Chain A
Protein backbone atom coordinates (compact mmCIF):
# COMPACT_ATOMS: atom_id res chain seq x y z
CA UNK A 1 0.00 0.00 0.00
CA UNK A 2 1.23 3.47 -0.85
CA UNK A 3 0.73 6.16 1.76
CA UNK A 4 0.53 9.88 1.00
CA UNK A 5 0.19 12.74 3.45
CA UNK A 6 -0.34 15.90 1.38
CA UNK A 7 -0.49 19.35 2.95
CA UNK A 8 -2.78 20.97 0.36
CA UNK A 9 -5.95 20.00 -1.47
CA UNK A 10 -4.23 20.30 -4.87
CA UNK A 11 -1.60 17.79 -3.80
CA UNK A 12 -4.34 15.53 -2.43
CA UNK A 13 -6.27 15.58 -5.72
CA UNK A 14 -3.09 14.59 -7.59
CA UNK A 15 -2.46 11.69 -5.20
CA UNK A 16 -6.12 10.62 -5.52
CA UNK A 17 -6.00 10.49 -9.32
CA UNK A 18 -4.57 6.94 -9.23
CA UNK A 19 -7.06 4.09 -9.60
CA UNK A 20 -8.34 2.73 -6.30
CA UNK A 21 -6.82 5.58 -4.29
CA UNK A 22 -8.82 6.31 -1.15
CA UNK A 23 -8.93 9.13 1.38
CA UNK A 24 -8.02 8.52 5.01
CA UNK A 25 -9.69 10.95 7.41
CA UNK A 26 -9.86 10.01 11.13
CA UNK A 27 -9.59 6.31 10.26
CA UNK A 28 -12.21 5.21 12.77
CA UNK A 29 -14.15 3.20 10.18
CA UNK A 30 -11.58 2.66 7.41
CA UNK A 31 -8.75 1.31 9.59
CA UNK A 32 -11.21 -0.95 11.42
CA UNK A 33 -12.30 -2.38 8.07
CA UNK A 34 -8.66 -2.81 7.00
CA UNK A 35 -7.89 -4.69 10.24
CA UNK A 36 -10.90 -6.95 9.65
CA UNK A 37 -9.71 -7.67 6.09
CA UNK A 38 -12.83 -6.14 4.54
CA UNK A 39 -10.85 -3.62 2.45
CA UNK A 40 -7.22 -3.42 1.39
CA UNK A 41 -6.58 -0.05 -0.27
CA UNK A 42 -3.63 0.12 -2.66
CA UNK A 43 -3.12 3.81 -2.00
CA UNK A 44 -4.21 5.91 0.97
CA UNK A 45 -4.22 9.69 0.96
CA UNK A 46 -4.30 11.10 4.50
CA UNK A 47 -6.20 14.39 4.82
CA UNK A 48 -4.80 15.10 8.28
CA UNK A 49 -2.30 17.79 7.33
CA UNK A 50 -4.61 19.83 5.09
CA UNK A 51 -5.44 22.93 7.13
CA UNK A 52 -8.21 24.11 4.80
CA UNK A 53 -10.29 21.07 5.82
CA UNK A 54 -10.46 22.30 9.42
CA UNK A 55 -12.30 25.03 11.22
CA UNK A 56 -15.87 26.11 11.82
CA UNK A 57 -16.92 29.48 10.38
CA UNK A 58 -20.16 31.42 10.46
CA UNK A 59 -20.81 32.89 7.02
CA UNK A 60 -22.39 36.27 6.27
CA UNK A 61 -25.85 34.75 5.58
CA UNK A 62 -25.86 33.05 8.99
CA UNK A 63 -25.03 29.60 7.65
CA UNK A 64 -22.20 27.68 9.29
CA UNK A 65 -19.43 25.99 7.33
CA UNK A 66 -17.74 23.11 9.10
CA UNK A 67 -14.52 21.73 7.66
CA UNK A 68 -14.62 18.01 6.81
CA UNK A 69 -11.83 17.17 9.28
CA UNK A 70 -13.76 18.63 12.23
CA UNK A 71 -13.87 15.90 14.88
CA UNK A 72 -16.99 14.60 16.62
CA UNK A 73 -15.60 15.95 19.90
CA UNK A 74 -15.27 19.44 18.40
CA UNK A 75 -18.87 19.28 17.15
CA UNK A 76 -20.07 18.00 20.53
CA UNK A 77 -18.64 21.15 22.11
CA UNK A 78 -20.13 23.39 19.43
CA UNK A 79 -21.63 26.44 21.06
CA UNK A 80 -23.79 27.91 18.32
CA UNK A 81 -27.31 29.18 19.02
CA UNK A 82 -30.52 27.42 18.03
CA UNK A 83 -31.57 24.76 15.57
CA UNK A 84 -30.12 23.28 13.42
CA UNK A 85 -26.64 23.71 15.00
CA UNK A 86 -27.89 22.30 18.32
CA UNK A 87 -29.09 19.18 16.49
CA UNK A 88 -25.64 18.44 15.11
CA UNK A 89 -24.01 18.97 18.52
CA UNK A 90 -26.56 16.63 20.14
CA UNK A 91 -25.82 13.93 17.60
CA UNK A 92 -22.04 14.34 17.87
CA UNK A 93 -22.26 13.69 21.62
CA UNK A 94 -23.66 10.20 21.01
CA UNK A 95 -21.34 9.11 18.20
CA UNK A 96 -19.39 6.10 19.48
CA UNK A 97 -17.07 6.58 22.51
CA UNK A 98 -14.82 9.39 23.80
CA UNK A 99 -11.64 8.07 22.12
CA UNK A 100 -13.42 7.65 18.77
CA UNK A 101 -15.05 11.09 19.09
CA UNK A 102 -11.63 12.72 19.50
CA UNK A 103 -10.22 11.17 16.30
CA UNK A 104 -13.22 10.52 14.03
CA UNK A 105 -14.34 13.26 11.66
CA UNK A 106 -17.54 14.67 10.19
CA UNK A 107 -16.33 14.27 6.61
CA UNK A 108 -15.03 10.76 7.14
CA UNK A 109 -18.27 9.62 8.71
CA UNK A 110 -20.53 10.98 5.96
CA UNK A 111 -18.29 9.73 3.15
CA UNK A 112 -18.53 6.27 4.75
CA UNK A 113 -22.36 6.62 4.82
CA UNK A 114 -23.29 3.85 7.22
CA UNK A 115 -27.12 3.77 7.18
CA UNK A 116 -27.16 3.41 10.98
CA UNK A 117 -24.78 6.35 11.55
CA UNK A 118 -25.86 9.58 13.22
CA UNK A 119 -24.85 12.38 10.83
CA UNK A 120 -26.81 11.26 7.75
CA UNK A 121 -29.99 11.53 9.84
CA UNK A 122 -29.33 14.94 11.40
CA UNK A 123 -27.93 16.50 8.22
CA UNK A 124 -30.99 15.36 6.28
CA UNK A 125 -33.37 16.81 8.89
CA UNK A 126 -31.31 20.03 9.04
CA UNK A 127 -31.42 20.44 5.25
CA UNK A 128 -27.65 20.77 5.34
CA UNK A 129 -25.43 20.75 2.26
CA UNK A 130 -22.25 18.84 1.57
CA UNK A 131 -19.38 20.67 -0.12
CA UNK A 132 -17.44 18.42 -2.48
CA UNK A 133 -14.12 19.41 -4.01
CA UNK A 134 -12.30 18.14 -7.09
CA UNK A 135 -9.54 19.45 -9.35
CA UNK A 136 -12.33 21.08 -11.38
CA UNK A 137 -13.65 23.12 -8.46
CA UNK A 138 -16.20 22.83 -5.74
CA UNK A 139 -19.90 21.87 -5.72
CA UNK A 140 -22.61 21.97 -3.06
CA UNK A 141 -25.12 19.16 -2.87
CA UNK A 142 -28.02 18.74 -0.44
CA UNK A 143 -27.58 16.07 2.22
CA UNK A 144 -30.68 14.27 0.94
CA UNK A 145 -29.05 13.94 -2.50
CA UNK A 146 -25.59 13.18 -1.10
CA UNK A 147 -26.69 10.01 0.71
CA UNK A 148 -27.67 7.46 -1.92
CA UNK A 149 -27.83 4.11 -0.14
CA UNK A 150 -25.97 1.63 2.05
CA UNK A 151 -22.35 2.93 2.11
CA UNK A 152 -23.21 4.82 -1.06
CA UNK A 153 -22.93 8.57 -1.70
CA UNK A 154 -22.84 11.03 -4.60
CA UNK A 155 -19.05 11.25 -4.20
CA UNK A 156 -17.19 10.41 -7.43
CA UNK A 157 -13.72 8.90 -7.72
CA UNK A 158 -11.13 11.63 -7.15
CA UNK A 159 -13.45 13.93 -5.19
CA UNK A 160 -13.10 14.90 -1.53
CA UNK A 161 -15.76 15.95 0.97
CA UNK A 162 -14.36 19.34 1.99
CA UNK A 163 -17.08 20.72 4.30
CA UNK A 164 -20.65 20.55 5.54
CA UNK A 165 -22.77 23.71 5.45
CA UNK A 166 -25.59 24.10 7.97
CA UNK A 167 -28.38 26.55 7.07
CA UNK A 168 -28.88 29.68 9.25
CA UNK A 169 -30.59 29.33 12.66
CA UNK A 170 -34.37 28.90 12.45
CA UNK A 171 -36.10 31.46 14.65
CA UNK A 172 -38.25 29.88 17.35
CA UNK A 173 -37.42 26.32 16.32
CA UNK A 174 -36.27 23.54 18.64
CA UNK A 175 -34.39 20.41 17.72
CA UNK A 176 -33.71 16.99 19.20
CA UNK A 177 -32.02 13.73 18.30
CA UNK A 178 -33.38 10.47 19.70
CA UNK A 179 -31.17 7.43 19.27
CA UNK A 180 -32.16 3.92 20.29
CA UNK A 181 -29.16 1.62 20.65
CA UNK A 182 -28.26 -1.52 22.59
CA UNK A 183 -25.49 0.16 24.58
CA UNK A 184 -24.09 3.70 24.72
CA UNK A 185 -21.82 4.32 21.76
CA UNK A 186 -23.17 1.58 19.50
CA UNK A 187 -24.74 2.31 16.12
CA UNK A 188 -28.44 3.07 16.22
CA UNK A 189 -31.18 0.47 15.97
CA UNK A 190 -33.38 3.40 14.93
CA UNK A 191 -32.71 7.11 15.31
CA UNK A 192 -34.85 10.20 14.71
CA UNK A 193 -33.81 13.82 14.23
CA UNK A 194 -36.55 16.43 14.62
CA UNK A 195 -36.70 20.16 14.03
CA UNK A 196 -39.93 21.68 15.32
CA UNK A 197 -41.52 25.11 15.06
CA UNK A 198 -45.24 25.31 14.14
CA UNK A 199 -44.91 21.94 12.47
CA UNK A 200 -42.29 19.20 12.64
CA UNK A 201 -39.85 17.95 10.10
CA UNK A 202 -38.02 14.74 10.78
CA UNK A 203 -35.48 12.33 9.42
CA UNK A 204 -35.35 8.68 10.44
CA UNK A 205 -32.21 6.53 10.33
CA UNK A 206 -31.48 2.82 10.63
CA UNK A 207 -34.67 1.85 8.80
CA UNK A 208 -33.74 2.22 5.16
CA UNK A 209 -30.65 2.47 2.93
CA UNK A 210 -30.69 6.26 3.34
CA UNK A 211 -32.46 8.51 5.85
CA UNK A 212 -36.22 8.88 5.42
CA UNK A 213 -37.58 12.43 5.50
CA UNK A 214 -40.98 13.96 6.26
CA UNK A 215 -42.03 17.57 6.84
CA UNK A 216 -45.05 19.72 7.70
CA UNK A 217 -46.22 17.23 10.32
CA UNK A 218 -48.80 18.58 12.75
CA UNK A 219 -47.88 18.42 16.41
CA UNK A 220 -50.94 16.64 17.84
CA UNK A 221 -50.45 13.12 19.22
CA UNK A 222 -52.72 11.75 16.50
CA UNK A 223 -50.87 13.45 13.65
CA UNK A 224 -47.51 12.26 14.98
CA UNK A 225 -48.78 8.70 15.31
CA UNK A 226 -50.18 8.69 11.77
CA UNK A 227 -46.94 10.11 10.37
CA UNK A 228 -44.93 7.57 12.37
CA UNK A 229 -46.98 4.64 11.14
CA UNK A 230 -46.74 5.89 7.57
CA UNK A 231 -42.95 6.05 7.77
CA UNK A 232 -42.80 2.61 9.39
CA UNK A 233 -44.91 1.13 6.57
CA UNK A 234 -42.76 2.76 3.87
CA UNK A 235 -39.46 1.85 5.55
CA UNK A 236 -37.20 -0.99 4.49
CA UNK A 237 -35.38 -1.88 7.72
CA UNK A 238 -32.73 -4.58 7.99
CA UNK A 239 -32.89 -7.54 10.37
CA UNK A 240 -29.49 -7.90 11.98
CA UNK A 241 -27.74 -8.73 15.26
CA UNK A 242 -29.16 -5.55 16.83
CA UNK A 243 -32.86 -5.95 16.06
CA UNK A 244 -35.38 -7.46 13.65
CA UNK A 245 -37.01 -5.46 10.88
CA UNK A 246 -40.39 -5.88 12.61
CA UNK A 247 -39.00 -4.45 15.86
CA UNK A 248 -37.55 -1.45 14.06
CA UNK A 249 -40.89 -0.73 12.36
CA UNK A 250 -42.63 -1.02 15.68
CA UNK A 251 -40.46 1.49 17.55
CA UNK A 252 -40.38 4.14 14.80
CA UNK A 253 -43.64 5.96 15.80
CA UNK A 254 -42.68 6.18 19.48
CA UNK A 255 -39.17 7.44 18.71
CA UNK A 256 -40.65 10.09 16.43
CA UNK A 257 -43.03 11.19 19.18
CA UNK A 258 -40.16 11.43 21.69
CA UNK A 259 -37.93 13.37 19.29
CA UNK A 260 -40.68 15.88 18.44
CA UNK A 261 -41.67 16.43 22.07
CA UNK A 262 -38.01 16.86 23.10
CA UNK A 263 -37.50 19.31 20.23
CA UNK A 264 -40.52 21.34 21.37
CA UNK A 265 -39.20 21.40 24.92
CA UNK A 266 -35.83 22.71 23.70
CA UNK A 267 -37.26 25.61 21.67
Chain B
Protein backbone atom coordinates (compact mmCIF):
# COMPACT_ATOMS: atom_id res chain seq x y z
CA UNK B 1 0.00 0.00 0.00
CA UNK B 2 1.33 3.42 -0.92
CA UNK B 3 1.34 6.47 1.28
CA UNK B 4 -1.27 8.22 -0.84
CA UNK B 5 -4.64 6.63 -1.17
CA UNK B 6 -7.36 7.14 -3.74
CA UNK B 7 -10.51 7.55 -1.67
CA UNK B 8 -14.18 7.54 -2.48
CA UNK B 9 -16.16 9.33 0.20
CA UNK B 10 -19.88 10.00 0.28
CA UNK B 11 -20.50 13.54 1.51
CA UNK B 12 -23.97 15.10 1.74
CA UNK B 13 -25.43 12.39 -0.46
CA UNK B 14 -22.87 12.55 -3.28
CA UNK B 15 -19.78 10.46 -3.95
CA UNK B 16 -16.49 12.36 -4.07
CA UNK B 17 -13.02 11.23 -5.12
CA UNK B 18 -9.94 12.38 -3.27
CA UNK B 19 -6.25 11.52 -3.32
CA UNK B 20 -4.99 11.88 0.23
CA UNK B 21 -2.13 10.86 2.49
CA UNK B 22 -3.02 7.71 4.42
CA UNK B 23 -2.68 9.71 7.64
CA UNK B 24 -4.93 12.56 6.43
CA UNK B 25 -7.91 13.31 8.62
CA UNK B 26 -11.45 13.60 7.32
CA UNK B 27 -11.25 17.30 8.20
CA UNK B 28 -8.23 17.85 5.93
CA UNK B 29 -9.87 16.05 3.02
CA UNK B 30 -13.20 17.86 3.47
CA UNK B 31 -11.62 21.31 3.59
CA UNK B 32 -8.51 21.09 1.44
CA UNK B 33 -9.61 18.69 -1.29
CA UNK B 34 -13.38 18.69 -1.46
CA UNK B 35 -13.87 22.36 -0.60
CA UNK B 36 -16.38 21.79 2.20
CA UNK B 37 -14.94 24.74 4.11
CA UNK B 38 -17.96 25.15 6.39
CA UNK B 39 -16.31 22.58 8.64
CA UNK B 40 -13.67 24.48 10.64
CA UNK B 41 -10.25 23.49 11.92
CA UNK B 42 -9.96 24.75 15.49
CA UNK B 43 -7.80 22.78 17.89
CA UNK B 44 -7.15 19.74 15.64
CA UNK B 45 -7.21 17.38 18.61
CA UNK B 46 -10.85 16.89 19.45
CA UNK B 47 -11.46 19.47 22.15
CA UNK B 48 -13.12 22.47 20.48
CA UNK B 49 -15.90 20.93 18.37
CA UNK B 50 -15.56 23.36 15.42
CA UNK B 51 -14.95 20.43 13.01
CA UNK B 52 -18.03 18.43 14.09
CA UNK B 53 -19.79 16.47 11.32
CA UNK B 54 -22.11 13.47 11.20
CA UNK B 55 -20.81 10.06 10.17
CA UNK B 56 -23.70 7.72 9.39
CA UNK B 57 -25.90 10.04 11.41
CA UNK B 58 -23.68 10.02 14.52
CA UNK B 59 -21.76 13.04 15.74
CA UNK B 60 -18.04 12.91 15.05
CA UNK B 61 -14.97 15.11 15.24
CA UNK B 62 -13.73 15.19 11.65
CA UNK B 63 -10.23 15.98 12.99
CA UNK B 64 -10.21 12.64 14.86
CA UNK B 65 -11.40 10.48 11.96
CA UNK B 66 -8.89 9.28 9.40
CA UNK B 67 -10.20 9.81 5.88
CA UNK B 68 -8.91 6.35 4.96
CA UNK B 69 -11.10 4.84 7.69
CA UNK B 70 -14.42 6.39 6.55
CA UNK B 71 -15.02 3.62 4.04
CA UNK B 72 -18.64 3.15 3.03
CA UNK B 73 -19.99 5.43 5.72
CA UNK B 74 -21.80 8.64 4.82
CA UNK B 75 -20.56 12.04 5.97
CA UNK B 76 -22.86 15.02 6.53
CA UNK B 77 -21.33 18.49 6.86
CA UNK B 78 -22.94 21.84 7.66
CA UNK B 79 -23.39 22.36 3.90
CA UNK B 80 -25.60 19.27 3.88
CA UNK B 81 -27.67 20.61 6.76
CA UNK B 82 -28.04 24.06 5.19
CA UNK B 83 -29.42 22.69 1.92
CA UNK B 84 -27.92 25.35 -0.35
CA UNK B 85 -28.64 28.98 0.44
CA UNK B 86 -31.67 28.20 2.59
CA UNK B 87 -30.81 27.94 6.25
CA UNK B 88 -32.10 25.09 8.38
CA UNK B 89 -34.42 25.71 11.33
CA UNK B 90 -31.51 25.45 13.75
CA UNK B 91 -29.43 27.90 11.72
CA UNK B 92 -32.28 30.40 11.51
CA UNK B 93 -32.85 30.17 15.27
CA UNK B 94 -29.15 30.87 15.89
CA UNK B 95 -29.31 33.95 13.63
CA UNK B 96 -32.57 35.24 15.13
CA UNK B 97 -31.33 34.77 18.71
CA UNK B 98 -28.12 36.70 18.06
CA UNK B 99 -26.22 33.54 18.95
CA UNK B 100 -23.49 34.17 16.38
CA UNK B 101 -20.64 36.59 16.86
CA UNK B 102 -17.43 35.69 15.04
CA UNK B 103 -19.14 32.59 13.68
CA UNK B 104 -16.14 30.28 13.71
CA UNK B 105 -17.69 27.79 16.13
CA UNK B 106 -21.18 28.03 14.60
CA UNK B 107 -20.97 25.11 12.12
CA UNK B 108 -20.02 22.80 15.01
CA UNK B 109 -22.94 24.03 17.11
CA UNK B 110 -25.28 23.62 14.14
CA UNK B 111 -24.21 19.98 13.82
CA UNK B 112 -24.50 19.29 17.57
CA UNK B 113 -27.98 20.86 17.77
CA UNK B 114 -29.15 19.27 14.51
CA UNK B 115 -28.20 15.88 15.95
CA UNK B 116 -29.99 16.70 19.22
CA UNK B 117 -33.24 17.60 17.46
CA UNK B 118 -33.03 14.50 15.28
CA UNK B 119 -33.14 12.40 18.48
CA UNK B 120 -35.47 14.56 20.58
CA UNK B 121 -37.69 17.31 19.14
CA UNK B 122 -38.42 18.72 22.61
CA UNK B 123 -35.18 18.59 24.63
CA UNK B 124 -35.00 20.13 28.11
CA UNK B 125 -32.57 22.96 28.85
CA UNK B 126 -30.33 20.41 30.58
CA UNK B 127 -30.38 18.15 27.50
CA UNK B 128 -29.47 21.15 25.33
CA UNK B 129 -26.55 22.00 27.60
CA UNK B 130 -25.28 18.42 27.51
CA UNK B 131 -25.67 18.33 23.71
CA UNK B 132 -23.42 21.37 23.24
CA UNK B 133 -20.99 20.47 26.05
CA UNK B 134 -18.37 19.44 23.51
CA UNK B 135 -18.42 22.70 21.59
CA UNK B 136 -16.40 25.75 22.59
CA UNK B 137 -17.57 29.29 21.83
CA UNK B 138 -15.18 32.03 22.93
CA UNK B 139 -17.49 34.95 22.08
CA UNK B 140 -21.00 34.31 23.29
CA UNK B 141 -20.94 32.72 26.72
CA UNK B 142 -23.43 30.09 25.45
CA UNK B 143 -26.59 31.73 26.85
CA UNK B 144 -27.86 32.87 23.46
CA UNK B 145 -26.97 29.54 21.89
CA UNK B 146 -29.10 27.74 24.50
CA UNK B 147 -31.87 30.31 23.90
CA UNK B 148 -31.70 29.62 20.17
CA UNK B 149 -32.22 25.92 20.81
CA UNK B 150 -35.14 26.69 23.11
CA UNK B 151 -36.61 28.88 20.36
CA UNK B 152 -36.63 25.81 18.11
CA UNK B 153 -38.42 23.84 20.87
CA UNK B 154 -41.00 26.58 21.47
CA UNK B 155 -41.71 26.99 17.78
CA UNK B 156 -42.33 23.25 17.64
CA UNK B 157 -40.35 23.09 14.42
Contacts and interface: CB of A to CB of B under 8 A. Distances in A.
Interface stretch (A32-40, A202-210, A234-242, A247-255): A32-40
A97 interface: yes
A34 B66 CA distance: 10
Given A32-B45, A98-B130, 13 more contacts: A2-B1, A2-B22, A3-B22, A4-B1, A31-B46, A36-B44, A40-B23, A97-B49, A99-B52, A99-B112, A103-B55, A103-B60, A185-B133
A49 B58 CA distance: 17
Interface string A77-114: 00000000000000000001111101100000000000
B128 to A, nearest CB: 12
B153 interface: no
B59 A99 contact: yes
A29 B110 CA distance: 24
A100 B133 CA distance: 11
A266 interface: no
B5 interface: yes
Interface of A: 1-5, 24, 27-28, 31-32, 34-36, 40, 44, 46, 48-49, 73, 96-100, 102-103, 184-185
Dominant secondary structure of chain B at its interface with chain A: mixed
Nearest to B64: A31
A129 B133 CA distance: 32
Nearest to B131: A98
A1 B66 CA distance: 12
Interface in B17-61: 21-23, 25, 44-46, 49, 52, 55, 58-61
A35 B25 contact: yes
Nearest to A93: B130
A100 B45 contact: no
A71 B59 CA distance: 12
B82 interface: no
Contact of A100 (B21, B23, B46, B131): B46
A27 B134 contact: no
Contact of B65 (A2, A73, A103, A185): A103
Dominant secondary structure of chain A at its interface with chain B: mixed
Nearest to A2: B1
Interface residues of B, number: 31
A100 B134 CA distance: 8
Contacts of B1: 2-4
A2 B69 CA distance: 12
A32 B65 CA distance: 9
B68 interface: yes
A97 B44 CA distance: 15
A18 to B, nearest CB: 12
A34 B65 CA distance: 11
B65 A1 contact: no
A100 B58 CA distance: 10
A34 B44 CA distance: 10
A77 to B, nearest CB: 11
Contact of A35 (B5, B45, B68, B112): B45
Contacts of A185: 133-134
Contact of B25 (A31, A36, A73): A31
A50 B126 CA distance: 36
The 9 residue pairs across chains A and B that have the minimum distance between CB atoms:
A97-B134, A99-B59, A32-B45, A102-B58, A3-B22, A31-B64, A3-B68, A1-B22, A2-B1
